[in-house]
Structure 1
Amino acid sequence: MPNLPDLEAWAIFAKVVELRSFTAAAEDLGVSKATVSKAVTRLEKSLGVQLLHRSSRRLALTESGRELAGRAQQLLSLGEEAEDAARDDAANPRGLVRLAAPMSFGIAHVGPALPDFFARYPDIAVDLHLADAVVDIVAGGFDAALRIGALPDSSLRARRLGAVERHLVAAQAYVERRGRPEHPSDLKDHDCLCYAYLPNPESWRFTHKGGEEAQVRPSGPLRANNSDAMMPALKAGHGIALVPDFMLAQHGGTKGLVTLLPDWSPPPIALHLVTPPGRERPARVTVLVDFLAERFAGLCAETAGSRRENG
């Protein structure tokens, strides 16, 4: 594999030609005169030609130096333009951000939040991918993703936006018809409406406020890979479901529903914003991440407060 061009040496050579002095170039670049001299010598050695005639009084281009000086200046100008553009992007973020989010949460909350984001950052476009399945943001080329759950250890950078509480609920009509479970083990005798993308959808786990743990295998008439799809069957009294608080909030709260096993809690989950590994990210991604963090941290607090008031 050929060596990469010595862009630093080309840029220093261009600055020497521009200012006609090693000393002036060193002062302009903020480096030592020796650094400038070594860079030009390194470039001459790499090219196999002499670029400058040096003397104590005079600095002159050789024939090869004259031929290459223009190209060196072009390289320096392109580098300066690239840095100026990067600084401008940091001050005025622009470009495309690819964002992944859960389907129901994305429709109910991400979509409605974007107009405010676009008003604040009119030069940024968002490619929004909605799916309840967890996407590989690195392989998929995403800049960020919202995730609801307990995050496994990974190399991704994660920002916790707030807790998401889940509630075991059923319609009043279902409770009147089938009775109220008194212990998680009673759920095996009930119709359960199951969300397919739980970390372990085959098992519901609960912890009592006194410390006892219980686990049950739910079964029932519906298993769906989207929470919104379960809500009509839940409201119509066809079973019991574990529903996150934001989903209850967007479907009328707990009106018409009964909270079951209030002294038992499922494993805690939270809303997270994850980004690929790495320390630096474009300004357009940073401002979107900060905007969503601000917007949805408040949402988590609101839904938790609303649930307490309704409860």
Structure 2
Amino acid sequence: MDRLTEMEAFATVVDQGGFTDAAKKMGISKSAVSKHVSSLEARLGARLLNRTTRRVSPTEIGLVYYDRARRVLNDAGEADALVTSMQSAPSGLLRISVATDFGVNHLSPLLGDFLQEFPDVTVNMVLNNRYVELISEGFDMAIRVGELEDSTLRARKLADTTRRMIGAPSYFEKFGRPQKIDDLNEHKLLHYSNQASGNVWKITAPSGEKRQIRTAGWLTVNDGQSLLNAAISGLGIAYLPSFLFRDAMDKGLVEEAIPDLPTEKLGIYAVYPPGRFTQPKVRSFIDFLVAKFAGTDMLF
């Protein structure tokens, strides 16, 4: 007989407290359940159930075997569900958290193509500039830029971007251009308030040394586009990802503050909750983004 069927019959008898209810649960005859359990006991060479005219209960050995058998059956059920899920078409509501500047500039333009390709998926994209707790706040995934914090979340890299210090030509004409990292202490800096490190810029020197610049800053705001606008207006120097300021630099509205410094590279990641398998709607969207961003310099 099939070993899993024997285990299922035995576990169901224990769960239901008898052969009659177990048979109803499994949708087979009472005699078939009894035969499966008897075959299991014979194969193991042990009595697993105490049988009386009024009730059925597991023996001491039966209890130990039940715990292990139930785990095996649960794992088998999850394996079946995994295969079914992996083969099913993506569908349902997909909730995404993404920073406003990246979402507006690079995610929103792609959503139309994704929804046409996967018409059974609906998207709720939440633009915000704070760190969200995916599971407790009900998000399926998030897009994050930069170094990832240690966590149990799974992550997949989508692309790379760079981060540079930029300012308007009018600012450099008025206040001068910094020649080295230490000169930044004398300049007006524009800070992003949601950084975990606070008003601290981590900069790589030409020697490869990692430096930290900590100043109060002239302006602190929780939105990258607002920082770029402030930099364009000549209010100071901002340290931003290049996907945000590239167009402004191409138009001559901003320039690099210290061009000789090594370029800082940042990863762009899709992060999602841990689990034994990834929901089709999440997997399909991440695969879609990887394909869209592959082989393009749009983010540099």
Same fold at TM > 0.5: yes
Return the offset for 1:15: 4.4
Task: Answer yes or no: is the 8 Å Cα contact 1:170–1:237 preserved in 2.
Answer: yes
Task: State how far apart, in whole Å, the 1-side matches of 2:145 and 2:212 are.
Answer: 21
Runs of 4+ in 1 over 6 A off after TM superposition: none
Task: State how far apart, in whole Å, the 2-side matches of 1:103 and 1:46 are.
Answer: 68
Matches within 5 A, 1:88-107: 90-107=87-104
Residue 194 of structure 1 corresponds to 191
Task: Answer yes or no: is the 8 Å Cα contact 1:146–1:272 preserved in 2.
Answer: yes
Match of 2:230 among 229, 233, 248: 233
Return the offset for 1:271: 0.6
Stretches of structure 2 that go unaligned for 5 or more consecutive residues are 1-13, 57-79
Letter in 2 for 1:246: F
| 1:30-71 residue CA offsets vs partner (Å, 9 max, x unmatched) | x99946x99xxx99x799689xxxxxxxxxxxxxxxxxxxxx
Inter-CA distance 213–289: structure 2 relative to 1 (3 Å threshold)? closer
Residue correspondences, number? 258
Return the offset for 1:212: 3.4
Residue 208 of structure 1 corresponds to 205
Give yes or no for the alignment of 1:178 onto 2:175.
yes
Task: Answer yes or no: is the 8 Å Cα contact 1:188–1:219 preserved in 2.
Answer: no
Residue 111 of structure 2 corresponds to 114
Task: Answer yes or no: is the 8 Å Cα contact 1:184–1:215 preserved in 2.
Answer: no
Residue 303 of structure 1 corresponds to 299
Return the offset for 1:267: 5.6
Residue 281 of structure 1 corresponds to 278
Matches within 5 A, 1:26-37: 34=39
Task: State how far apart, in whole Å, the 2-side matches of 1:118 and 1:293 are.
Answer: 16
TM superposition score normalised by structure 1: 0.70
Give yes or no for the alignment of 1:149 onto 2:146.
yes
Say which SS state the counterpart of residue 245 (structure 2) adopts.
helix
Inter-CA distance 186–91: structure 2 relative to 1 (3 Å threshold)? same
Matches within 5 A, 1:126-165: 126-165=123-162
Inter-CA distance 122–198: structure 2 relative to 1 (3 Å threshold)? same
Task: Answer yes or no: is the 8 Å Cα contact 1:104–1:226 preserved in 2.
Answer: yes
Give yes or no for the alignment of 1:14 onto 2:27.
yes
Residue 246 of structure 1 corresponds to 243
Inter-CA distance 90–242: structure 2 relative to 1 (3 Å threshold)? same
Aligned CA-pair RMSD: 3.7
Return the offset for 1:155: 0.9
Letter in 1 for 2:103: G
Residue 123 of structure 1 corresponds to 120
Task: State how far apart, in whole Å, the 1-side matches of 2:84 and 2:208 are.
Answer: 54
Return the offset for 1:293: 2.6
TM superposition score normalised by structure 2: 0.72
Return the offset for 1:189: 1.1
Give the % identical residues. Answer: 30
Task: State how far apart, in whole Å, the 2-side matches of 1:242 and 1:46 are.
Answer: 78
Inter-CA distance 181–97: structure 2 relative to 1 (3 Å threshold)? same
Task: Answer yes or no: is the 8 Å Cα contact 1:197–1:225 preserved in 2.
Answer: yes
Letter in 2 for 1:195: Y
Return the offset for 1:112: 1.5
Return the offset for 1:262: 2.2
Task: State how far apart, in whole Å, the 2-side matches of 1:46 and 1:297 are.
Answer: 68
Residue 267 of structure 2 corresponds to 270
Say which SS state the counterpart of residue 129 (structure 1) adopts.
strand
Task: State how far apart, in whole Å, the 1-side matches of 2:144 and 2:53 are.
Answer: 53
